[in-house]
A and B are shown apart, each in its own frame.
Chain A
């Protein structure tokens, strides 16, 4: 469904994305993990048109969308959420979600009605008339999901929807993400919360210093020596292996 080939992006001397190729199959939840500063959010920005890649291509539903602006990409059915939540402050939850709904709905009344519907799905149904700025962090994360969902996307890119939430909130939001997939929406998510990655995603890509270093099922990937080193430092994989051998 989404095919990324050889994406390169440099900011000055830093290669934020170094020849990254990955693919997201339809109907799955795929995840992208990596330590802070690995270039995950940059990769999202490249895929969704917020940055233009220096080289490489992005294909979505078989079409080349490299370099298209974000609104055109959203119109084709791929939307993203933001790691740092971006509510339309001063507008109500209902109005916020309606902006997403308006992508395919002309009438204001229909868009507002659809917003209500979507709000119910993500658990915001009781806060429709609240100012988006007065929502809790968890509420705003739900709002990000709702707005993206209201555009009737085929693929959603979630940028750390669980970051900053406490364990009980995370337990609440995980089913919401799963429900999105149940509706037939493909998902690519960036996540630090490993509990979520392990329980949600079927396939994981690992990014470090702008380059992909591993891929596979979440369970395979966490044991991969390069991944361990990326998170814990050079030599750690070896030391852990030694200690395990010692214990055995």
Chain B
């Protein structure tokens, strides 16, 4: 309950941004932080709570993005409908990949490699079929109106990403409080023990990958409408997969607020490097790599773990006192 109040407060404060920030540049930064938090939270559902490390979340992101773009450009379908279709398509792709991997009990690095492979297959496919614009990419024609999911000001986009991200965070809050979440974490921590207690590990993992795919797909839809251009490398390339997993790992795996902390931290770092080093191509990936190594070595619980260490939960006093008696 306390977490829900905190979640409400945090999003209320973030919601003040369009009222107090007048600079488009700064508002864009807030939008990109929310977008990164959405990507990260999507990955966190499967990776952080489910323990299934995917290296191919671009598969869902790209599917969401391409769905809304192709429906618009090739069939003239309204992007708000495309938003729904993009989410659903991403979820279906996730269901397919989940079925193909979990059915055969792939875990750990095998699961990671297969998801990476699926994303690459989709990248190559989208590079060769005509309706995605192949290697040239697909350009969504500029036609600014709210009915068309293209806003003249950044504020409109802000509210869309705010709602999407809030939905993802609220879902994860629910996961932390539900039977589904308890079973998902049990599968993460010990699949055999969970199954012995009657947890249907396959179903639980399918649920997690589909939720995860849904929110990644929504992030993809948002990206397509915000930047109005996609190509196979943007949509299905490894950069998105890496960002998806880096955000929650830096922020704190399997925690509600980890992805938000991670998104803020990573954006601060990338802005700082841009200031210091300039726009050297690839430099942000180098910095990300270094950050990842440092986090894994020194802060395996991420920024959320650091926050916990600085302000520890008041431990129930009787819990420790009695352990000695049984030792």
Binding site for B on A (CB under 8 A): 48, 50, 69-71, 74-75, 79-82, 86-91, 95, 98-100, 102-103, 105-108, 111, 126-130, 136, 138-139, 147-148, 150-151
Contact = CB atoms under 8 A, between A and B. Distances in A.
A148 B197 CA distance: 7
B283 interface: no
B199 interface: yes
A139 B190 contact: no
Interface string B182-210: 11011001101111111111000000000
Interface stretch (B17-25, B55-63, B157-165, B316-324): B316-324
B321 to A, nearest CB: 8
A105 B198 CA distance: 12
Interface string B304-327: 000000000001101110110011
A129 B319 contact: yes
Interface residues of B, number: 28
Contacts of B190: 86-89
B196 A99 contact: no
Contact of A99 (B197, B200, B320): B197
Nearest to B191: A86
B182 A111 contact: yes
Nearest to A95: B182
Nearest to A96: B186
Contacts of B274: none
Given A95-B182, A102-B182, A106-B179, A71 B319 contact: no
Contacts of A79: 196-198
15 contacts: A71-B198, A71-B200, A75-B198, A79-B198, A88-B190, A88-B193, A91-B189, A98-B182, A102-B179, A108-B182, A111-B179, A129-B319, A138-B326, A147-B193, A150-B197
Nearest to A150: B197
A216 to B, nearest CB: 30
B107 interface: no
Given A136-B327, A138-B326, A88 B185 contact: yes
Interface of B: 177-179, 182-183, 185-186, 189-190, 192-201, 315-316, 318-320, 322-323, 326-327
B319 A69 contact: no
A106 B186 CA distance: 15
Nearest to A74: B198
A71 B326 contact: no
Contacts of B189: 87-91
Nearest to A128: B319
Nearest to A75: B198
Contacts of B318: 126
Given A71-B198, A108-B182, A128-B319, 13 more contacts: A48-B196, A70-B192, A74-B196, A75-B198, A88-B189, A99-B194, A102-B199, A129-B316, A129-B319, A139-B326, A147-B193, A147-B197, A150-B197
The B contact surface, by secondary structure, is: helix
A95 B198 CA distance: 15
Contacts of B177: 108
Contact of B178 (A71, A75, A108): A108
B183 A86 contact: no
A150 B196 CA distance: 12
A122 to B, nearest CB: 12
Contact of B193 (A48, A86, A98, A102): A86
Contacts of A98: 182
Which 7 residue pairs are nearest across A and B when measured between Cβ atoms?
A74-B198, A88-B189, A86-B193, A103-B198, A126-B322, A129-B319, A99-B186
A82 B182 CA distance: 20
Contacts of B183: 99, 102
A95 B200 CA distance: 18
Nearest to A50: B192
A220 B323 CA distance: 41
A116 to B, nearest CB: 13
Given A86-B190, A136-B327, A129 B315 contact: yes
A60 B178 CA distance: 31
Greatest chain A CB density within 10 A among B183, B190, B326 is at B326
Contacts of A102: 179, 182-183, 199
A63 B318 CA distance: 46
Contacts of B194: 88, 99
B201 to A, nearest CB: 7
A127 B195 contact: no
Contact of B196 (A82, A90, A108): A82
Contacts of A151: 197-198
Greatest chain B CB density within 10 A among A74, A88, A151 is at A88
B150 to A, nearest CB: 42
Contacts of A111: 179, 182
Contacts of B323: 127, 130, 136
A100 B179 contact: no
A6 B182 CA distance: 38
B319 A127 contact: yes
Given A129-B316, A138-B326, A99 B182 contact: yes
Greatest chain A CB density within 10 A among B189, B197, B322 is at B197
B195 A69 contact: yes
A25 B189 CA distance: 34
Greatest chain B CB density within 10 A among A50, A80, A129 is at A129
